Amino acid sequence: MYIHIGGDVSLQQKDIAVVLNLETVLPSQKNVTDFINAEDDNNRLQYVTDDIPRSLVMTTDRTYVSPLSVNVLQKRLKGDTDPLDIGPDQ
């Protein structure tokens, strides 16, 4: 099954390894910042839209910066909602 993660990007569910909530990451958590910078330096970071980033969706070969909340993405991964339904908790 494909999961819509924002913009015009959909990923196969089996390819999604990690979903990280950017809204809870503190500036002092340097390891997360270092990881994002390393992904960008290696051309593996893709911003899905220009909207405010709310989550990171990591696959084995890319990291996507998504405007969707972790709650919405988790519901889609669990099949609790229509995979294209953005809903009020975008």
Residue pLDDT, tens place only, 64-81 = 999 999 999 999 999 876
Task: Look up residue 38 and give its two tokens.
Answer: 């390393």
Instruction: For the chain, 90 residues long, give each residue's pLDDT as a single digit of tens.
Output: 899 999 999 999 999 999 999 999 988 899 999 999 999 999 999 999 999 999 999 999 999 999 999 999 999 999 876 545 555 454
Let me know: does 25 contact 41? Beta carbons within 8 Å: no
Parallel, antiparallel, or unpaired: how do β-strands 63-66 and 55-59 relate?
antiparallel
- In this prediction, residue 88 carries a pLDDT of 46
- In this prediction, residue 5 carries a pLDDT of 96
Kindly report the average pLDDT of the chain as a whole number.
Answer: 90
* pTM, rounded to two decimals: 0.85
Residue ranges per domain, the chain?
Answer: 2-78
Parallel, antiparallel, or unpaired: how do β-strands 16-21 and 45-47 relate?
unpaired
- In this prediction, residue 81 carries a pLDDT of 63
